[in-house]
């Protein structure tokens, strides 16, 4: 068979403050090289002469303030980057004032000594579906770490439909000290260290992860509320330990259901309030939604700065089938890494600063006895909202109650289930409490390949070869079928 012809390449000249946008089809990849000039992808600066790879239906945009010449598809002159840069400038001023206050340094001449002006930015980003909230968060984080002030802002993701650094069904938070790259929707916030023994050099984040177990925020709002407040407590504890690091601030990415008129108002308002309270929010950014902006102004405008920012014209309308594929990519990537085939004729290239071979994992399967792993679900598998129950009816199982799962039961639903492995319980019995399992962080994930009821054994797949015997795991509604 003759060698495949090299992939066609094109060279474009980008004028200042323009961007080019691309959308990849399934099973395709793209290589981009900055020939000369300066450019960035969602705030992460490109290195001149370096090849960047993109795959797994990635949709992104390269923006330039000063002009450049990359290889591309189409160019747009209408971008909201100037507005986003203005927001970054305002947040940067808050960081500088907060750091001056922490160090006891005087403020610049003419600055007011209003205590609110000396608080580090704690930003909540809201918006409906397909508004580009995650992109805004990445841009603001990347601009902060590029500012040359050694900021390490925290980024929290409370959208369980978006895998963030791990997989769907989770909430997570991490301190970010380097640019968040964009190369695949399977890793929307870049590469993080996993349970696999993989050495990462560019951006090995270790996020704190909580397990919600579902992608729909309406599945168990009480649990979601608790997990949000848990993350907030952890963030505040970290800030208390590092007062100077606190000045870097926090940005919180939220689900589209928080800004959607199709979601029940009571549901949205309670979870937004949980975020505002738990993370001590002082800035709310509303992306491209006038009605939501008015609602937030009325609810929080008296003590929180509420700002409406434009939605990018490059935001792609994503349908449910695409979102399902991305969630499948994320589960597969957690187990197998990023096996990306560069375009024909392209050698080298990086995925988020790493060579593709460094991001390929070799998961292992293990056969274990049913009793080797304690498995629970929180509430029931299909929990109707309280409002849907008959009058005076009482639940037999609370939404917050840990329910043991018997793998031998015909209705266990463990075949193909994704399990979150939890950190150990508190060794001090005096510090233990009934719902402690709800507050334990996640140390890794496995999935159940087979359940042999007759032999009372099950086969699990893990991204590393470590034993999970004796651990506690939580199941949810997420499933993964190895292909």
User: Nearest CA to 136 among 148, 124, 145?
Assistant: 124
Please report the pLDDT score of residue 199 as a whole number.
42
272-297 mean pLDDT: 94
100 annotated as ligand-binding: no
Per the prediction, the chain carries an average pLDDT of 84
131 annotated as ligand-binding: yes
Tell me how crowded residue 401 is: count the other CB atoms within 10 A of its CB.
16
Q: Is the predicted pLDDT of residue 75 greater than 80, yes or no?
A: no
Rg of the chain over all Cα atoms, to the nearest angstrom: 23
356's tokens: 């593709």
Indicate the burial class of 398 (C-beta count within 10 angstroms; 0-12, 13-18, 19 or more). middle
Share of the chain above pLDDT 70, in %: 86
User: Nearest CA to 203 among 358, 47, 339?
Assistant: 358
Residue 240, phi-psi category: left (phi > 0), alpha (psi -120 to 50), beta (remainder): alpha
204's tokens: 């090995």
288 annotated as ligand-binding: no
pTM for the full predicted model: 0.87
406-426 mean pLDDT: 90
132 annotated as ligand-binding: yes
Q: Is the predicted pLDDT of residue 198 greater than 50, yes or no?
A: no
244-272 mean pLDDT: 88
59 annotated as ligand-binding: yes
Share of the chain above pLDDT 90, in %: 41
Listed by start position, the domains of the chain span: 80-102+116-309, 364-383+397-479
CA 199 → CA 81, 192, 193, 355, distances in Å?
Answer: 34, 10, 8, 11
353-379 mean pLDDT: 85
What is the tens place of the pLDDT at every residue in 159-183?
A: 999 988 899 999 999 999 888 888 8
Please report the pLDDT score of residue 232 as a whole number.
96
Indicate the burial class of 210 (C-beta count within 10 angstroms; 0-12, 13-18, 19 or more). buried
**Strand bridging mode 122-126 / 283-287:** parallel
Band of the pLDDT at 52, cuts 50, 70, 90? confident
Q: Is the predicted pLDDT of residue 99 greater than 80, yes or no?
A: yes
Please report the pLDDT score of residue 160 as a whole number.
95
Please report the pLDDT score of residue 306 as a whole number.
96
Question: Is the distance from CB of 30 to CB of 78 less than 8 angstroms?
Answer: no
Please report the pLDDT score of residue 196 as a whole number.
45
CA separation for the pair 227, 122 (Å, rounded): 18
91-112 mean pLDDT: 80
134 annotated as ligand-binding: yes
88-106 mean pLDDT: 88
CA separation for the pair 417, 8 (Å, rounded): 42
What is the tens place of the pLDDT at every residue in 464-478?
A: 777 888 899 999 999
How far does CA 360 lie from the centroid of its chain? 21
Q: Kindly provide the b/e burial profile for residues 82-111, where b requires at least 16 CB atoms within 10 angstroms of the residue's own CB.
A: eebeebbeebbebbbbbbbbeeeeeeeeee
CA separation for the pair 26, 71 (Å, rounded): 20
CATH number attached to the domain at 80-102+116-309? 3.40.50.300
DSSP H or E segment with residue 300 = helix 290-300
Greatest mean pLDDT range, 192-196, 265-269, 465-469: 265-269
What is the tens place of the pLDDT at every residue in 295-353?
A: 999 999 999 999 999 988 777 777 888 899 989 999 998 888 877 777 877 877 777 76
Q: Is the predicted pLDDT of residue 445 greater than 90, yes or no?
A: yes
Q: Is the predicted pLDDT of residue 84 greater than 60, yes or no?
A: yes
Greatest mean pLDDT range, 177-186, 290-299, 376-385: 290-299
Q: Which CATH class is domain 364-383+397-479?
A: mainly beta
479 annotated as ligand-binding: no
Tell me how crowded residue 113 is: count the other CB atoms within 10 A of its CB.
10
Band of the pLDDT at 382, cuts 50, 70, 90? very low
30-49 mean pLDDT: 88
CA separation for the pair 417, 459 (Å, rounded): 11
Per-residue DSSP letter, 440 = P
């Amino acid at each position: 068979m003759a060698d495949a012809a090299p992939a066609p390449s094109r060279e474009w000249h980008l004028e200042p403050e323009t961007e080019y946008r691309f959308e990849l089809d399934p099973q395709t990849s793209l290589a981009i090289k900055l020939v000369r000039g300066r450019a960035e992808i969602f705030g992460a600066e490109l290195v001149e002469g370096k090849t960047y790879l993109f795959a797994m239906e990635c949709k992104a945009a390269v923006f330039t303030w000063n002009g450049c010449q990359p290889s591309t598809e189409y160019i747009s002159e209408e971008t909201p980057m100037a507005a986003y840069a203005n927001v970054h400038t305002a947040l940067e001023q808050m960081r500088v004032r907060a750091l001056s206050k922490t160090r006891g340094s005087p403020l610049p001449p003419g600055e007011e000594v209003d205590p609110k002006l000396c608080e580090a930015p704690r930003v909540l980003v809201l918006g409906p579906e397909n508004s580009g909230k995650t992109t805004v968060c990445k841009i603001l984080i990347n601009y902060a770490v590029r500012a040359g002030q050694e900021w390490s802002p925290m980024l929290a993701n409370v959208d369980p439909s978006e895998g963030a650094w791990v997989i769907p069904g989770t909430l997570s938070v991490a301190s970010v000290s380097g640019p968040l790259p964009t190369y695949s929707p399977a890793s929307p916030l870049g590469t993080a260290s996993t349970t696999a023994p993989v050495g990462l050099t560019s951006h090995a984040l270790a996020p704190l992860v909580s397990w919600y177990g579902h992608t729909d925020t309406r599945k168990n709002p009480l649990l979601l509320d608790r997990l949000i407040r848990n993350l907030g407590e952890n963030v505040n504890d970290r800030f208390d330990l590092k007062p100077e690091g606190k000045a870097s601030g926090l940005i919180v990415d939220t689900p589209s259901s928080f800004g959607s008129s199709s979601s029940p108002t009571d549901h949205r308002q309670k979870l937004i309030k949980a975020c505002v309270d738990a993370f001590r929010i002082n800035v709310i950014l509303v992306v491209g939604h006038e009605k939501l902006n008015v609602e937030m102004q009325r609810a929080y405008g008296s003590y929180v700065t509420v700002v409406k920012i434009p939605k990018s014209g490059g935001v792609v309308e994503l349908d449910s089938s695409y979102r399902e594929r991305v969630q499948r990519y994320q589960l597969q990537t957690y187990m197998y890494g990023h096996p990306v085939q560069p375009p024909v004729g392209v050698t080298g290239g990086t995925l988020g600063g790493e060579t593709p071979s460094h991001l390929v994992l070799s998961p292992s399967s293990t056969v274990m006895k049913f009793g080797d792993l304690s498995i629970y679900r929180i509430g029931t598998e299909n929990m109707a909202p309280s409002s849907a129950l008959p009058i005076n009816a009482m639940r037999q199982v609370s939404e917050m109650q840990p329910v043991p799962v018997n793998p031998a039961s015909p209705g266990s639903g463990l075949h193909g289930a994704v399990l979150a492995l939890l950190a150990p319980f508190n060794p001090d019995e005096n510090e233990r409490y009934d719902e402690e399992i709800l507050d334990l962080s996640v140390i890794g994930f496995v999935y159940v390949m087979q359940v042999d009821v007759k032999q009372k054994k099950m086969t699990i797949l893990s991204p590393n070869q470590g034993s999970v015997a004796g651990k506690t795991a939580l199941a949810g509604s997420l499933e993964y079928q190895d292909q």
